[in-house]
């Protein structure tokens, strides 16, 4: 096999209370990637989208992942990778994770699947480090494993794939810029024990709710007393959108990754679509362009399409 084409989905990291440890793959939006294996050690990156991302391998999220894999396996082969990015960089929907995870999975398929999923997560995190300065796995893990994942540890990599409940995800991406590196820098370095107790109660409740398909428990657990109060200030209309989503019938939701996207979980598609309409109109009213996506939790993650 000389070439592989992949569909690489967006991901929602944190799932409100699980900062850096929980995430889910969704169906829309997704990137398309083609990976070719070369007989020489060159790494070539090409974008067919218009985002103007760097194509120099050492400065490209997919490029650094391929370089690390090449180095680790002492490969004489190189790779050409053609990326058609539809997950907008800086959206909070795992755009850099998609490039990083797609590069790792594509290379591995062409190498005869010699690396484990945990190893792929390990290499993909180098892409995240280039993009945000931190090697977090909560986007790349669900992208690679599919569904909802728990990052029990990122060093060493220990990923627990969770159940994929039958839920709808509505995500809105308002066209404002929030860089992950900035959204991390503003976080408090110390937290109060009383807040930590609430937070780990919610995380445990959320994981139990996901495993038991207990939507009431999932809804009761989607609260974040540590990150959201600080970051939500960067996102216009965050409180209004959250409040209105709950009134429409969402189980809960919050900031997608480091923002500015906001996501909501719902049991029924009808509710999810109503929330999408409301989100769009809230941003239309204040003249902020936005893109809205409705999809189910994506149990597959990255898929080979050719
Ligand atoms: N867990 C990371 C953060 C996700 O919230 O900074 C970034 O997409």
237-273 pLDDT tens trace: 999 999 999 999 999 999 999 999 999 999 999 999 9
Residue 293, pLDDT above cutoff 90? yes
Task: List the chain domain ranges.
Answer: 3-163+299-304, 168-296
In the predicted model, what is the mean pLDDT of residues 163-175?
97
Nearest CA to ligand 1 atom 6: 258
Catalytic-role residue among 128, 149, 170, 228: 128
If you measure from the C-alpha of residue 84 to the centroid of ligand 1, how many angstroms do you get, rounded to a whole number?
23
Nearest CA to ligand 1 atom 4: 257
Return d(Cα 210, Cα 68) in angstroms, integer. Answer: 34
The pTM assigned to this predicted structure is 0.97
Q: Which atom of ligand 1 is nearest to the CA of 94?
A: 8
Percent of the chain with pLDDT over 70: 100
If you measure from the C-alpha of residue 237 to the centroid of ligand 1, how many angstroms do you get, rounded to a whole number?
20
Q: What is the mean pLDDT of the chain?
A: 97
Which residue of 10, 11, 13 sits with most ligand 1 atoms within 8 Å of its CB, as the best mutation to test the pocket? 13
150: nearest Cα among 298, 255, 13, 258: 13
Question: Is 240 among the catalytic positions?
Answer: no
Residue 1's pLDDT is: 82
The CATH class that applies to domain 3-163+299-304 reads alpha beta
If you measure from the C-alpha of residue 281 to the centroid of ligand 1, how many angstroms do you get, rounded to a whole number?
27
In the predicted model, what is the mean pLDDT of residues 153-178?
96
- With a 6 A CB cut-off, is 154 part of the ligand 1 pocket? no
Q: What is the CATH number of domain 168-296?
A: 3.30.70.890
- With a 6 A CB cut-off, is 119 part of the ligand 1 pocket? no
Residue 177, pLDDT above cutoff 90? no
Which residue of 124, 135, 180 sits with most ligand 1 atoms within 8 Å of its CB, as the best mutation to test the pocket? 180
Residue 186's pLDDT is: 94
- With a 6 A CB cut-off, is 179 part of the ligand 1 pocket? no
If you measure from the C-alpha of residue 111 to the centroid of ligand 1, how many angstroms do you get, rounded to a whole number?
30
Question: Is 11 among the catalytic positions?
Answer: no
Residue 306, pLDDT above cutoff 90? no
Catalytic-role residue among 11, 24, 170, 180: 180
- With a 6 A CB cut-off, is 14 part of the ligand 1 pocket? yes
Which of the two residues, 173 and 180, has the higher pLDDT score? 173
Query: Distances from the Cα of 91 to the Cαs of 35, 61, 104, 161, in angstroms?
Result: 24, 16, 22, 24
Q: Which atom of ligand 1 is nearest to the CA of 92?
A: 8
């Amino acid at each position: 096999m000389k070439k592989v084409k992949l569909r690489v989905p967006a991901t929602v990291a944190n799932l409100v209370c699980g900062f850096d440890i929980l995430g889910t793959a969704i169906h829309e939006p997704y990137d398309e990637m083609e990976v070719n294996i070369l007989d020489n050690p060159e790494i070539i990156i090409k974008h067919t989208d218009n985002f103007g991302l760097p194509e120099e391998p050492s400065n490209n999220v997919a490029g650094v992942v391929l370089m690390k894999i090449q180095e680790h396996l002492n490969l004489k082969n190189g790779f050409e990778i053609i990326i058609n990015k539809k997950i907008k960089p800086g959206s909070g929907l795992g755009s850099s994770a998609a490039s990083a995870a797609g590069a790792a999975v594509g290379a591995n398929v062409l190498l005869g699947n010699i690396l484990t999923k945990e190893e792929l997560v390990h290499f993909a995190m180098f892409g995240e480090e280039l993009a945000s300065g931190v090697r977090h796995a909560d986007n790349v893990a669900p992208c690679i494993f599919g569904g909802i994942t728990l990052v029990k540890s990122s060093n060493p990599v220990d990923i627990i794939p969770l159940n994929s409940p039958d839920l709808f995800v509505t995500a809105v991406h308002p066209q404002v810029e929030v860089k992950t590196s900035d959204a991390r820098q503003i976080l408090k370095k110390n937290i109060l024990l009383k807040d930590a107790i609430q937070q780990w109660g919610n995380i445990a409740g959320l994981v139990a709710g996901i495993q038991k398909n207990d939507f009431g428990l999932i809804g009761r657990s989607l609260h974040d007393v540590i990150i959201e109060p600080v970051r939500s200030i960067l996102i216009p209309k965050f409180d209004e959108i959250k409040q209105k989503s709950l009134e429409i019938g969402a189980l809960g939701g919050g900031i997608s990754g480091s923002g500015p996207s906001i996501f909501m979980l719902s049991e029924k598609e009808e509710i999810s679509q109503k929330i999408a309409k409301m989100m769009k109109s809230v941003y239309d009213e204040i003249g902020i362009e936005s893109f809205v996506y409705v999809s189910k939790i994506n149990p597959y993650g990255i898929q080979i399409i050719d």
